[in-house]
C-alpha cells in the first residue's frame, strides 16, 4: 500500500525520487493521514495542506544540518512521516506514543517542543544568529514555516523587525491557506488576499514557469534571485511591498501543491543573502474533499469512518461539555445586557462561540492569534463602560500576562476571564495543559480567582463576575459538564460551600474535580471513614473562615486541584493557615507536581496523578492512618 512511504526512513531516502514519485509519495502520505483520523481525534486539515511543501523543503534542504521550525507545530505530521516515524504513526497522541506536536525527544529533526503559535521566526532567527557565532556552523541554513493564521501574532513583527535589522540569512515560508482554525480575520489577511490576486498566482501559471525557466538554475544565488526579480517586475508580477519595506525579499505567491514549482522556488531562494519571505498558497484539507470544503470542522475532527461514497460517520459524544455550558451562558448574558461583549483570540470554534458570533456580530470580537492585544483591547472596552468577557484557553492566556497585570488589574477594570481547557487537556500534551493559571493569577492584586465545582457554579460565577466591579477569572476543563445534586448555595464573594462536614477528615475540592471528591468521600464512608467535602469555589479571596476551621478541627485535610501544586490552591490554603498560626502537618495537597505532563487521555492522566476518585480516597486513607495518633487540639500552635 505505502510502497514508497514505508521505505522512507529519513529525508535522505527522498533524494533519488523524481517529481512524479514525490507526487505519488504525497498521495500515500495523505492516505496515512486519513487513516489516522479514522482511529482518533487529531489535527487533520492543516496537515493535508502541507504535504507537498514538506516534501519540497526536505528535498531542497538537508535538515539534519539546516534548521527547520514549523510554527505552532500542529502541521508537523507529514514531517514526522518522513523523518523516521512512519512505523509508529498509529500511536499518535496516545499515551506513550508520538506527540501531536514537534518533540525533540522523538527526533533530531524536531528542534523545539511547541504548540503555541507565532514564535517560529524568532526561534529560527536565534538559531541562525547562534550558528553564525559558533565556529564551523555558519553554513547551516535557517527556515521556518508559518501559517497565515499565526502570522498576525505580535511576536512575528518583533522577529521580522529584528531579522530585517540583522540582515541574517533566513527563509520564512508563509503558508497561506486563508484560514486560521476559523477563516482568518483582520487587515493583514486582507493584504495577503490582495497579494493573491497578483497575476503571478492567478491565471498565469504558465507565466510563472516561463519566468522560472529564464532564471539560471546554477550560479550565484543572489544573481539568480535578481534575475527572477527583474523578470517578474518586467511582467508586472511583483508585490509584497510591506515585507520589502521591512528588509525582507518577498517572493510569491507560489502554488504550494505543485512540487516541481515549489522545489524550483526553494532552490532559487535557498542561498539568497538576507531574510526572504516566500509566500506559498495552499488549500487547507487538500486532497480530501470533505476537509477542503469544511476546513473549520476538519481542523481537529472527531474520529470518523470513511465509506465508499465518501460519506462519513462521526463518533460523537452525547454529553455536554463545560465549553457548551459556558457558551450558552455567555449567549444569555449578552441577550440580557447590551454592555456585555465577548472576545476570542482565534478560538471561536474551540470555545463554541459560533452562535454568539452570529447573534451579536457587533459585540463579538475575533482578534486573531493575538492574545496580548485581546486583553488590552478588553481593558479598553471595560474602561469605556462595557462588560467584556475574554473567552480563552488557560494556556494561551499565558501569552498576555503583562496586559492582565498593567491594563487590567492595575487599573482594577472589570474584565471577566473565562479560562477554558484548564488543567489537563489530554492528547495535546504539555504545550496545552492549562496548569499554571491559578499560580499566576492569584498573585495579582484585585483579581478574583474562581474555580467552579460543577456546571451550576460555572453559570452562576459568570453571572457573579458580570456584576462585580473588579477583574474576575474562572476556569474549567475540557470535559463533560457535571452537576452536583442537592440544593446549592448562591455564589458569594470569597465564600466556599460546605457539601458535608466530616468528623474523620475533610476534602477541600477546588474546581471541577468536586464530583470526584464527593465520590471518593462516599466510598470512604462505606469503609467507615466519615470524610466531608468543601467546594472551595474561590482561590482568591479564599474562604479562610471555613477552610481554616476544617484544618483546625479535623484530623486531616486533603486539598484537591487540577492545577500546578506550586503556587496553586493548596499553597494558598497552607499560606493562610500558616499566617493564622495553625499547623498544617496534617494537610495534604493533591494536584499537578512540578514537572511537565505528557500527553494521554485526561482520565488516564488524572488517574496517574492520583486525582481520580480512587486516588483521592487513597490519599485520605493514608492521611487518616498517619494522623490517627495525633489529635486535632495538639495541632493548634500557641
Ligand atoms: C498562542 C496560540 N493561540 C492559539 C492557538 C490555537 N491554534 C492552533 S492552530 C491555530 C490556527 C493556526 O492557523 P495557521 O497558522 O494559518 O495554520 P493552519 O492551521 O491554517 O495551517 C490556532 C488558532 C495556538 N496554538 N497558539
SS (H, E, C) 317-374: CCCCEHHHHHHHHHHHHHHHCCCEEEEECCCCCCCCCHHHHHHCCCCEEECCCCHHHH
pLDDT of residue 313: 79
CA of 629 to the centre of ligand 1 (A): 55
Specify the pLDDT at position 59: 98
What integer pLDDT is reported at residue 427 of this predicted model?
A: 97
Taking CA atoms only, the protein residue closest to ligand 1 atom 15 is 147
Q: What percentage of the chain carries pLDDT values higher than 70? A: 91
637 in Cβ contact with 548 (< 8 Å): no
DSSP per residue over 7-61, as a string? G-SSGGGGTT--HHHHHHHHHHHHHHHHHHHTTS----HHHHHTHHHHHHHHHHS
Tell me which long-range contacts 303-311 makes (C-beta under 8 A, separation of at least 24).
303/37, 303/38, 303/39, 303/40, 303/41, 304/37, 304/38, 305/38, 306/34, 306/38
Over residues 132-147, the mean pLDDT reads 98
CA of 457 to the centre of ligand 1 (A): 31
Pocket test for ligand 1, best of 282, 369, 420 (most atoms within 8 A of CB): 369
Q: Which of 278-282, 315-319, 552-556 has the lowest mean pLDDT?
A: 315-319
Cα–Cα distance between 564 and 337 in angstroms, integer?
36
Q: For ligand 1, is residue 399 a contact (CB within 6 Å)? A: yes
Per-residue pLDDT at 145 exceeds 70: yes
Query: Is 0.85 surpassed by the pTM of this model?
Result: yes
| pLDDT grade for 311, boundaries at 50, 70 and 90 | low
**Which listed residue (40, 284, 478, 635) is catalytic?**
284
| Alpha carbon of 290 to ligand 1 centroid (Å) | 20
Query: Is there a catalytic annotation at residue 284?
Result: yes
User: Cβ(368)–Cβ(156) under 8 Å?
Assistant: no
Place of cell 466591579: 469
pLDDT score, position 24 = 97
Tell which one of 144, 172, 180 to mutate to probe ligand 1, the residue whose CB is within 8 A of the most ligand atoms: 180
Distance of CA 503 from the midpoint of ligand 1 (Å): 50
Would the pLDDT of 634 be above 80? no
Would strands 416-420 and 387-393 be described as parallel, antiparallel, or unpaired? parallel
CA distance 524 to 198: 70
Cβ-Cβ contacts under 8 Å for 35 (sequence gap 6 or more): none
The pLDDT, as a whole number, for residue 638 is: 34
All residues at 6 or more sequence positions from 403 whose CB lies less than 8 Å from its CB, including other chains: 372, 375, 376, 379
pLDDT in the model for residue 204:
43
pLDDT at 141 over 60: yes
CA 73 to centroid of chain Cα atoms? 10
pLDDT of residue 635: 45
> Which residue in the list 28, 231, 283, 371 is annotated as catalytic?
371
Distance between CA atoms of residues 107 and 183, nearest Å: 32
Going from the Cα of 120 to the center of ligand 1, the distance in angstroms, rounded, reads 12
Average pLDDT, the chain: 92
Indicate if 399 belongs to the active site.
Answer: yes
Question: pLDDT at residue 450 above 60?
Answer: yes
Q: Peptide bond before 253: cis, by omega within 30 degrees of 0?
A: yes
d(CA 170, CA 437): 35
Q: Residue 448 pLDDT more than 60?
A: yes
Question: What is the pLDDT at residue 309?
Answer: 59
CA of 557 to the centre of ligand 1 (A): 42
Decide whether any atom of ligand 1 lies within 6 Å of the 72 Cβ: yes
pLDDT given for residue 129 in this prediction: 98
Q: Grid coordinates representing 187? A: 487587515
For the record, the C-alpha cell of 31 comes out as 492516505
Residues 348-369 pLDDT 10s: 999 999 999 999 999 999 999 9
pLDDT at site 637? 40
- Rounded mean pLDDT, 589-606: 98
The atom number, within ligand 1, closest to the CA of 45 reads: 19
Q: Is the pLDDT of residue 437 over 80?
A: yes
Q: What is the pLDDT of residue 210?
A: 60
Ligand 1 within 6 A of CB of 177 = yes
pLDDT digits (tens, 9 = 90+) for 490-541: 999 999 999 999 999 999 999 999 999 999 999 999 999 999 999 999 999 9
Catalytic residue among 270, 399, 475, 635: 399
- The mean pLDDT of 222-236, rounded to a whole number, is 59
Q: What is the pLDDT of residue 231?
A: 60
432 lines ligand 1 (CB under 6 A): no
Amino acid at each position: 500500500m505505502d510502497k514508497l512511504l514505508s521505505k522512507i526512513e529519513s529525508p535522505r531516502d527522498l533524494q533519488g525520487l523524481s517529481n512524479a514519485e514525490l507526487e505519488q509519495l504525497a498521495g500515500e502520505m495523505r492516505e496515512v493521514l486519513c487513516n489516522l483520523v479514522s482511529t482518533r481525534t487529531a489535527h487533520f486539515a492543516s496537515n493535508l495542506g502541507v504535504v507537498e511543501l514538506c516534501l519540497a523543503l526536505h528535498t531542497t534542504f538537508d535538515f539534519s544540518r539546516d534548521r527547520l521550525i514549523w510554527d505552532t507545530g500542529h502541521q508537523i505530521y507529514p514531517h514526522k512521516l518522513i523523518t523516521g516515524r512512519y512505523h509508529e504513526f498509529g500511536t499518535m497522541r496516545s499515551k506513550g506514543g508520538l506527540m501531536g506536536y514537534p518533540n525533540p525527544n522523538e527526533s533530531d529533526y524536531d528542534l523545539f517542543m511547541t504548540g503555541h503559535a507565532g514564535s517560529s521566526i524568532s526561534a529560527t532567527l536565534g538559531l541562525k544568529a547562534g550558528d553564525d557565532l559558533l565556529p564551523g556552523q555558519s553554513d547551516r541554513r535557517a527556515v521556518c514555516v508559518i501559517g497565515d493564521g499565526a502570522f498576525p501574532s505580535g511576536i512575528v513583527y518583533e522577529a521580522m523587525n529584528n531579522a530585517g535589522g540583522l540582515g541574517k540569512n533566513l527563509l520564512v515560508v508563509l503558508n497561506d491557506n486563508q484560514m486560521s482554525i476559523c477563516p482568518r480575520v483582520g487587515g493583514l489577511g486582507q493584504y495577503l488576499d490582495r497579494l493573491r490576486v497578483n497575476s503571478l498566482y492567478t491565471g498565469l501559471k504558465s507565466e510563472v514557469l516561463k519566468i522560472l525557466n529564464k532564471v539560471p538554475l546554477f550560479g550565484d544565488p543572489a544573481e539568480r534571485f535578481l534575475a527572477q526579480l527583474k523578470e517578474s517586475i518586467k511582467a508586472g508580477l511583483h508585490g509584497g511591498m510591506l515585507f520589502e519595506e521591512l528588509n525582507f525579499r518577498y517572493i510569491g505567491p507560489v502554488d504550494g501543491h505543485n512540487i516541481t514549482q515549489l522545489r524550483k522556488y526553494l532552490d532559487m531562494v535557498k542561498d539568497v543573502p538576507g531574510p526572504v519571505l516566500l509566500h506559498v498558497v495552499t488549500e487547507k484539507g487538500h486532497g480530501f474533499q470533505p476537509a477542503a470544503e469544511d476546513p473549520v470542522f476538519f481542523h481537529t475532527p472527531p474520529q470518523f469512518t470513511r465509506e465508499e461514497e465518501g460519506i462519513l460517520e462521526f463518533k460523537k459524544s452525547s454529553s455536554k461539555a463545560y465549553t457548551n455550558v459556558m457558551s450558552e451562558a455567555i449567549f444569555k448574558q449578552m441577550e440580557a445586557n447590551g454592555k456585555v461583549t465577548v472576545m476570542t483570540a482565534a478560538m471561536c470554534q474551540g470555545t463554541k462561540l459560533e452562535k454568539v458570533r452570529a447573534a451579536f456580530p457587533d459585540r463579538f470580537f475575533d482578534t486573531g492569534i493575538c492574545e496580548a492585544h485581546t486583553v488590552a483591547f478588553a481593558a479598553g472596552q471595560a474602561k469605556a463602560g462595557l462588560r467584556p468577557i475574554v473567552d480563552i484557553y488557560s494556556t494561551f492566556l499565558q501569552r498576555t500576562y503583562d496586559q492582565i497585570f498593567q491594563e487590567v488589574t492595575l487599573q482594577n477594570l472589570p474584565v471577566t476571564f473565562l479560562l477554558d481547557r484548564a488543567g489537563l487537556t489530554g492528547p495535546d500534551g504539555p504545550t496545552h495543559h492549562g496548569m499554571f493559571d491559578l499560580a499566576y493569577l492569584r498573585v495579582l492584586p484585585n483579581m478574583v480567582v474562581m474555580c467552579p465545582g460543577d456546571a451550576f457554579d460555572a453559570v452562576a460565577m459568570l453571572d457573579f463576575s458580570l456584576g462585580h466591579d473588579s477583574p474576575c477569572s474562572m476556569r474549567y476543563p475540557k470535559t463533560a459538564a457535571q452537576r452536583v445534586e442537592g440544593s446549592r448555595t448562591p455564589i458569594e464573594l470569597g465564600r466556599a460551600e460546605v457539601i458535608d462536614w466530616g468528623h474523620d477528615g475533610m476534602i477541600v475540592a477546588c474546581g471541577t474535580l468536586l464530583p470526584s471528591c464527593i465520590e471518593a468521600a462516599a466510598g470512604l464512608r462505606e469503609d467507615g471513614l466519615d470524610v466531608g467535602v468543601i467546594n472551595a469555589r474561590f482561590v482568591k479571596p479564599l474562604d479562610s473562615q471555613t477552610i481554616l476551621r476544617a484544618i483546625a478541627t479535623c484530623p486531616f485535610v486533603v486539598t484537591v486541584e487540577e492545577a500546578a501544586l506550586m503556587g496553586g490552591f493548596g499553597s494558598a490554603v497552607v499560606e493562610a493557615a500558616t499566617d493564622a498560626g495553625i499547623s498544617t502537618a496534617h494537610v495534604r495537597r493533591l494536584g499537578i507536581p512540578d514537572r511537565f505532563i505528557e500527553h494521554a487521555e485526561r482520565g488516564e492522566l488524572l488517574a496517574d496523578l492520583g486525582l481520580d476518585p480512587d486516588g483521592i480516597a487513597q490519599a485520605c486513607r493514608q492521611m487518616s492512618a498517619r494522623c490517627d495518633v495525633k489529635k486535632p487540639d495538639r495541632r493548634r500552635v500557641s
